[in-house]
Structure 1
């Protein structure tokens, strides 16, 4: 199998592991384990808490000491062990601790997955910006397949979803050791304190445009996991009113339309970056999030079913235009010697600080609009839509950027 094929397998498995539980576990904890919105939000916030430091630390280790593909394998094996144990847990305190351990070792693998892909493609002389998105799209396919496996197996409210994720994580951990070597860079570093600690990527904050980008990445990162956390619980709330509806019977399949949409939008990224540049692409993402939440607020499994479907479709633009385009923007801004650290820093700001705040605050919002076991989901979703609308209004005024269309996407992703 050529390198593209091997990276496709890696990306497929990377997100299959996550897709097996990320969307459905919120419903499992609320409906089956009877956790509160705040408890569920805090457990999902462990991904953000872990991302505050683990992706950066692992990125530094990959840049300086240990092959990235080996770290990828080690992290997945440890994460798999944690998920096997989590499947038997029913109390909040233990679940929080175990999922924090899993998050500490899974979240760095997203950046490592990108770094290994970039390094392997560059080693073969393959254009990263042109060929990585079609490879990365298989990660989304893996996520969708995992969701369908859990839904059709009727495991969305069962701990079996965690066993499925753990088993696939173990397989990926072993597979990672067979990937082409991605050794640490041998470029000599300076004598500064940041260089000594391997925190060179933080020099990117010295560039005003990059600093502003990272700050908004943090604010938008707070919105990334909200529908993943509470989406299925929201759909399950319609069980009494629409017991025979497709949405209630197959919530994971309905939610998977979001990831299917990703597979389409991710392929458009080279065109949109070249045509419009990172600033407009980010604006498209932000306002797509406004629609994502707003359509949830007015949708239902009956006459509002089309609104739910439209919300799933718009998710592809909301997520990909921020997450993938942002990763490519950071790659172009960073020196090759800090590639893994820069990706880790991007993860820290989005899936770290942003996701942690988003998990905690969204849990508070859900509990604020909850009386007994009745949740005012429309007010909840509209509150989130209002938050992202504010981001969309402010962003174009503070992110200074002038796009100059170029012959290739890599040039177009750079600012003037």
Structure 2
């Protein structure tokens, strides 16, 4: 790939994830402090990600793959997204906020597939070239968190002044920039052949359900859905938790989780090759349980190191489970179901699993909310830790050792 093309794609990835990271991490804190939303409202807001993940295949499969160049759809979506973000910046209550956010996430989630398609279309060897491009997305997410903490918008004083609202304005501005920039990206024509009929089952990955006939894969598939329930607690509650207990620069500190993603993504092939699939997945699920125990017993003072370790474990939790799972899914799918199998596992995890998780996190957080509007965070965090342990035990008991093609 030419350096100029690589630079353009890397900039696209940076902007894509900077936009997402600039509001997603702090949304729970914003809703609670600026819009006085309940825990159930916050869980409903985060559930828009799951709704978007479920609906995304319709947009990508029915529109992007068949009628329009991917870079043009990406541009249009982000320009519309800039307007929606500005509406969210101006929102005064949850009833006006939620429908706009839902509309935004239904549009935004397909862009995660679109930026990948645009990148892959320019690559001769995606296995070697894609990681160099994708890592700039993670850097973009980190940059957003560092910027918010540098400006102090997540500090207690700024929360009282409502400055966290500015995250939506930043997202609107950069969404507009990416919208315009997208029209300059390399041409990525529709993948579908003219005259082909649209298959809903293929778009949703449902034709890959035949993979569940393999007992081991069925155990992994169910475990993937179940482990996304405790994962949702992290996305929904981590920033409000850190802010409520008085951790300074909480958003910047949460960016440590993305730094660890980069580190453990580099370590994954070595660990995977030495210990195999089952042990890699076991380590990931154990890290989930340990992470929440650290959150349960950590605090903003002497126990601050426990919070940092808990955040840092995000790299193991995410990379060792999800990336390994994608490799495992690919090895079982074969050429016929490669794309649909990845679509199915995404629909199951980010769609079904996290939808259940966001709902559960909202109910549990509200249950442990006292009359002073403060949470019993220790009890809250021990619940997803316990769920992680149960999923781990289920997986260890029923998943058999299996040799698969290992990543280079």
Q: Which residue of 1 aligns with 2:256?
A: 257
Structure 2 CA distance, aligned partners of 1:175 and 1:136? Answer: 18
1:96-245 matches, within 5 Å, as 96-121=98-123, 125-126=124-125, 128-156=126-154, 157=159, 158-186=164-192, 195=199, 198-199=202-203, 201-208=205-212, 209=214, 210-239=217-246
Q: Which residue of 2 aligns with 1:95?
A: 97
CA change 1:401–1:38 in 2 (3 A) is same
Query: Residue 280 of structure 1: CA displacement?
Result: 3.2
CA change 1:334–1:404 in 2 (3 A) is closer
Q: Which residue of 2 aligns with 1:375?
A: 375
Structure 2 CA distance, aligned partners of 1:219 and 1:3? Answer: 40
For the 8 Å contact 1:262–1:316, the answer to whether it is kept is yes
CA change 1:358–1:307 in 2 (3 A) is same
CA change 1:261–1:178 in 2 (3 A) is same
Structure 2 CA distance, aligned partners of 1:283 and 1:8? Answer: 33
Structure 2 CA distance, aligned partners of 1:169 and 1:333? Answer: 37
The alignment partner of 2:199 has SS state of helix
Matched, 1:351 2:340: no
What RMSD in Å do the two structures reach over aligned CA positions? 2.7
TM-score normalised by the chain length of structure 1: 0.86
For the 8 Å contact 2:204–2:344, the answer to whether it is kept is no
CA change 1:353–1:11 in 2 (3 A) is same
Structure 2 CA distance, aligned partners of 1:184 and 1:215? Answer: 33
For the 8 Å contact 1:137–1:266, the answer to whether it is kept is no
For the 8 Å contact 2:225–2:353, the answer to whether it is kept is yes
Query: Residue 169 of structure 1: CA displacement?
Result: 1.6
Task: Decide which of 14, 17, 20 is 1:12's aligned counterpart.
Answer: 14
**Aligned length in residues:** 394
The alignment partner of 2:23 has SS state of coil
The alignment partner of 2:205 has SS state of helix
Q: Which residue of 1 aligns with 2:46?
A: 44
Task: Decide which of 66, 69, 80 is 2:68's aligned counterpart.
Answer: 66
Query: Residue 405 of structure 1: CA displacement?
Result: 6.1
For the 8 Å contact 1:51–1:347, the answer to whether it is kept is yes
Tell me the alpha carbon deviations over residues 195-233 of structure 1, each in whole angstroms, 9 at most, x when there is no partner.
376437322110124554443332223333422321121
Structure 2 CA distance, aligned partners of 1:195 and 1:55? Answer: 11
Query: Residue 340 of structure 1: CA displacement?
Result: 5.5
For the 8 Å contact 1:55–1:345, the answer to whether it is kept is no
For the 8 Å contact 1:47–1:103, the answer to whether it is kept is yes
Structure 2 CA distance, aligned partners of 1:390 and 1:189? Answer: 49
CA change 1:186–1:255 in 2 (3 A) is closer
CA change 1:293–1:352 in 2 (3 A) is same
TM-score normalised by the chain length of structure 2: 0.87
Q: Which residue of 2 aligns with 1:414?
A: none
Query: Residue 142 of structure 1: CA displacement?
Result: 0.6
Structure 1 CA distance, aligned partners of 2:336 and 2:70? Answer: 14
Query: Residue 38 of structure 1: CA displacement?
Result: 1.3
For the 8 Å contact 1:14–1:139, the answer to whether it is kept is yes
Task: Decide which of 53, 56, 77 is 1:54's aligned counterpart.
Answer: 56
Structure 1 CA distance, aligned partners of 2:50 and 2:167? Answer: 21
Structure 2 CA distance, aligned partners of 1:12 and 1:332? Answer: 30
The alignment partner of 1:20 has SS state of helix
The alignment partner of 2:255 has SS state of helix
For the 8 Å contact 2:23–2:168, the answer to whether it is kept is yes
Query: Residue 181 of structure 1: CA displacement?
Result: 2.8
1:256-335 matches, within 5 Å, as 256-334=255-333
Query: Residue 286 of structure 1: CA displacement?
Result: 1.6
Tell me the alpha carbon deviations over residues 40-94 of structure 1, each in whole angstroms, 9 at most, x when there is no partner.
1111111112222224542443333333333333332222221110111121111
The alignment partner of 1:87 has SS state of helix
- Give ranges in structure 1 of 5+ residues lacking alignment: 240-247, 411-416
CA change 1:286–1:34 in 2 (3 A) is same
For the 8 Å contact 1:111–1:340, the answer to whether it is kept is no
Q: Which residue of 2 aligns with 1:242?
A: none
Query: Residue 369 of structure 1: CA displacement?
Result: 1.2
Tell me the alpha carbon deviations over residues 225-281 of structure 1, each in whole angstroms, 9 at most, x when there is no partner.
422321121122223xxxxxxxx2211122111111112112223333444444433
